[in-house]
A and B are shown apart, each in its own frame.
Chain A
Amino acid sequence: MEITVKLFAMFRIGRFAAARKQCEPGTVPADIANGLNIPEKDIGIVLVNGRHARLDHQLSDGDTLSLFPLVGGG
């Protein structure tokens, strides 16, 4: 299946802002993070299609996964 992965703030450094990724059904955000060398402990916010999700959320074809480090406030 194909998903869109969006990275923000420091996660973009040495990686990308947005990219399409092919992955197996049953892939979860933790798998995507591992594949990008993003340590789980650095992840602040996980959004799937704009809603908060857990790292073990089952992704579906066409989903948008957004990953943010712990940043922000104001």
Chain B
Amino acid sequence: MDKILRVDMADLSTRIEAVPAEWAGLGGRGLTSTIVAAEVPPTCHPLGPSNKLVFAPGLLTGTPAANSGRLSAGAKSPLTGTIKESNAGGTSAQMLARLGIKALIIEGAPTTDAWYSLHVSMDGVAIREETELIGKGNFAVIEAVESRLGKKTGVLTIGPAGELKMTAANISVKDPDSKIRSHGRGGLGAVMGSKRIKFISIDDEGAPKVPIADPEKFKTAARAFAKALLDHPISGEGLPTYGTNVLVNILNEAGGLPTRNFTIGQFEGHDKISGETMHDTIVARGGKHKHGCHAGCIIQCSQVYHDKEGKYVTSGFEYETIWGLGADCCVDNLDDIAVADNLMDDIGIDSIETAVMFGVAMEAGILPFGDGKGIIRLLKDEIGKGTPLGRILGGGAASVGKAYGVTRVPVVKNQGIPAYDPRSVKGIGITYATSTMGADHTAGYTIATNILNVGGFVDPLKKDGQVELSRNLQIATAAVDSTGMCIFVAFPALDIPECLPALIDMINARFGINLTGDDVTNLGKQILKTERQFNIEAGFTKEHDRLPEFFKTEPVAPHNAVWDFTDAEIDEFWNF
């Protein structure tokens, strides 16, 4: 990838630049965080003209490496005020990589009321005015762009939530079935909306294959890597059969399934929303229990969920979404949750933030716990239409908590806490507290070792070993996030000794370089330190690396666990 595309939305100009030497070895999150840290004033208003929205494929994206088609998107987050990177599957990453685009940097903001789209092709990037699709949902945008520009066009789009700059707004990516994957967390959709870009279309017609310096070495490494993915029981069998939603019953049994706005660790209705039930329902109704979010994915953790009549309802039906609208909101109707999932895709709003938000909204009395139809109604009629209530709801969990005087608001750095209770899964609590991006479970997924016995075992109910576990995983994840790899390659990487060396061999063969395992670890450390430095300059201190008060004082059943780390113990995390 040999060029940087810059788009200035203030004067509506575009530039094609060579890649500076210091960015040559970076990709994905490593590149977006480096660019944001270098070019965005940390104290800027995230919706103002000084923020930048950066898209970057990973170091291996566009190659034949399995599971390498992820795209990173980065900016200063309007939700957390910290630096942010979010990666997603879909069809855009590989197209950008083949076009030779190492990064697409969008800066400035228009001063008029006009809306725009960007078109990326072999000729660079063009800015076009857009009127017809403003106000439309993401599915309509994808359909219209395909009809205008061809079925194979890549699409990145924001829904009404992003146009209205709601802080829970996401950026949607067209997937191989013309459905949607998401750059979900951190409100990046609002940043794109603040730059008045409704969608980005990508045409890779004429783009050559991604060049590989040592094709033979690459092929050998790619084969070993793919074998490890298929050999590991999680990536090779568990995920394609049950999807991530298999976790409902696991967390429920372990007492770490946050229920009724994080008041209990188990949900009575767990069986009705479990991965096992979802699998059987999908099969009975003619959907797909395995499905890939990008070409070259061999894990296939996604699925296609149909209604009773056999019609498409949603795809990419994730554990976090089902946990959140299910256990956390006490809804035990999987069909209602599926309809809500599809609505969130269309409106363009983060399904994790929105689910945690609804738990707080129910505690606030806006609707009763268990009211699945009420969730659907509020999504359609309030958030989707941008009413004043909709804007409060679309601001996320903390926004609703503040507006309604709720104290039990599960957020860190203003971002909603996902589907694992930190009191009974203590490792993930350290990740929530210390991640540079707010409460983020994928940043350092200790669930693997706390719950799933992957990479060893660290008891989730004890403090011992959690800080070290979270630190090692956060460092490794920052590096993996730079390669374009799906994070689920971490399961085989933690257990199968051939896996990580094969990944490093592929990077070396791609670029003709000689990275070692230590180099990869150092890359991860460097990325975390760069991100942390941005946050410090943005005004964050160690006092922000904390969980909400109620986790310390309210024990969670069945294990009656509390969050009992001292501040000093948490702050140990950054000793590297």
Given contacts A50-B255, A51-B461, A74-B318, contact A45 B238 (CB under 8 A): no
Whether B461 contacts A72 by the Cβ 8 Å rule is no
Whether A72 contacts B276 by the Cβ 8 Å rule is no
Interface size class of B (residues with CB under 8 A): 35 or more
Most buried by A among B453, B461, B558: B453
Given contacts A9-B275, A44-B452, A50-B254, contact A71 B319 (CB under 8 A): no
For A71, what are the chain B residues with a Cβ–Cβ distance below 8 Å? 233-234, 237-239, 241-242, 246, 250, 275
Whether A9 contacts B459 by the Cβ 8 Å rule is no
Given contacts A9-B276, A73-B234, A74-B318, contact A44 B453 (CB under 8 A): yes
* Shortest Cβ distance from residue A49 to the other chain B in the assembled complex, whole angstroms: 8
Nearest chain B residue, comparing its CB with the CB of A70 = B233
Whether A50 contacts B246 by the Cβ 8 Å rule is no
Whether A73 contacts B559 by the Cβ 8 Å rule is no
A residues 7-62 near B (Cβ < 8 Å) are: 8-10, 12, 17, 42, 44-45, 47, 50-52
For B14, what are the chain A residues with a Cβ–Cβ distance below 8 Å? none
For A8, what are the chain B residues with a Cβ–Cβ distance below 8 Å? 246, 249-250, 253, 276
Whether A74 contacts B320 by the Cβ 8 Å rule is yes
Whether A45 contacts B242 by the Cβ 8 Å rule is no
Q: How far is the CA of A50 from the CA of B234 in the complex (A)?
A: 21
Q: For the complex, is B451 an interface residue (Cβ under 8 Å from A)? A: yes
Q: For the complex, is B244 an interface residue (Cβ under 8 Å from A)? A: yes
Q: For the complex, is B445 an interface residue (Cβ under 8 Å from A)? A: yes
Whether B239 contacts A73 by the Cβ 8 Å rule is yes
* Shortest Cβ distance from residue B276 to the other chain A in the assembled complex, whole angstroms: 6
Q: How far is the CA of A68 from the CA of B318 in the complex (A)?
A: 19
Whether B491 contacts A73 by the Cβ 8 Å rule is yes
For A9, what are the chain B residues with a Cβ–Cβ distance below 8 Å? 238, 241-242, 246, 249, 275-276
For B245, what are the chain A residues with a Cβ–Cβ distance below 8 Å? 74
Whether B253 contacts A72 by the Cβ 8 Å rule is no
Main secondary structure of the interface of B (DSSP, over half): helix
Whether B558 contacts A70 by the Cβ 8 Å rule is no
Whether A45 contacts B244 by the Cβ 8 Å rule is no
Q: For the complex, is B56 an interface residue (Cβ under 8 Å from A)? A: no
Q: For the complex, is B469 an interface residue (Cβ under 8 Å from A)? A: no
- Determine which of B238, B457, B460, B558 lies in contact with A72 in the assembled complex, contact meaning CB atoms within 8 Å: B238
* Shortest Cβ distance from residue B425 to the other chain A in the assembled complex, whole angstroms: 11
Whether A73 contacts B452 by the Cβ 8 Å rule is yes
Whether B244 contacts A73 by the Cβ 8 Å rule is yes
B residues 450-490 near A (Cβ < 8 Å) are: 451-454, 457, 459-461, 488
Q: For the complex, is B447 an interface residue (Cβ under 8 Å from A)? A: yes
Q: How far is the CA of A73 from the CA of B447 in the complex (A)?
A: 8
B residues 241-296 near A (Cβ < 8 Å) are: 241-247, 249-250, 253-255, 275-276
* Shortest Cβ distance from residue B469 to the other chain A in the assembled complex, whole angstroms: 14
Whether B233 contacts A73 by the Cβ 8 Å rule is no
Given contacts A50-B253, A70-B233, A71-B234, contact A10 B452 (CB under 8 A): no
Whether A45 contacts B276 by the Cβ 8 Å rule is no
Whether A45 contacts B250 by the Cβ 8 Å rule is yes
Q: How far is the CA of A6 from the CA of B320 in the complex (A)?
A: 23
- Determine which of A17, A47, A74 lies in contact with B247 in the assembled complex, contact meaning CB atoms within 8 Å: A74
Q: How far is the CA of A74 from the CA of B234 in the complex (A)?
A: 11
Given contacts A44-B233, A45-B451, contact A72 B239 (CB under 8 A): yes
Q: For the complex, is B448 an interface residue (Cβ under 8 Å from A)? A: yes
Nearest chain B residue, comparing its CB with the CB of A43 = B453
* Shortest Cβ distance from residue A70 to the other chain B in the assembled complex, whole angstroms: 4
- Give the top 9 A-B pairs by smallest Cβ distance, nearest first: A74-B244, A71-B238, A70-B233, A74-B319, A72-B246, A66-B253, A50-B255, A71-B246, A72-B247
Q: What would be 30 A-B contacts, judged by CB atoms less than 8 Å apart? A: A8-B246, A8-B250, A9-B241, A9-B246, A10-B237, A12-B276, A44-B233, A45-B452, A47-B254, A50-B253, A50-B255, A50-B558, A51-B254, A52-B459, A68-B250, A70-B238, A70-B453, A71-B234, A71-B241, A71-B275, A72-B238, A72-B239, A72-B246, A72-B247, A72-B452, A73-B234, A73-B445, A73-B448, A73-B488, A74-B244
Given contacts A52-B457, A71-B239, A74-B244, 16 further A-B pairs with CB under 8 A are A8-B249, A8-B253, A9-B246, A10-B241, A45-B451, A50-B558, A51-B254, A52-B254, A52-B459, A68-B253, A70-B232, A70-B238, A72-B250, A72-B275, A73-B447, A73-B454
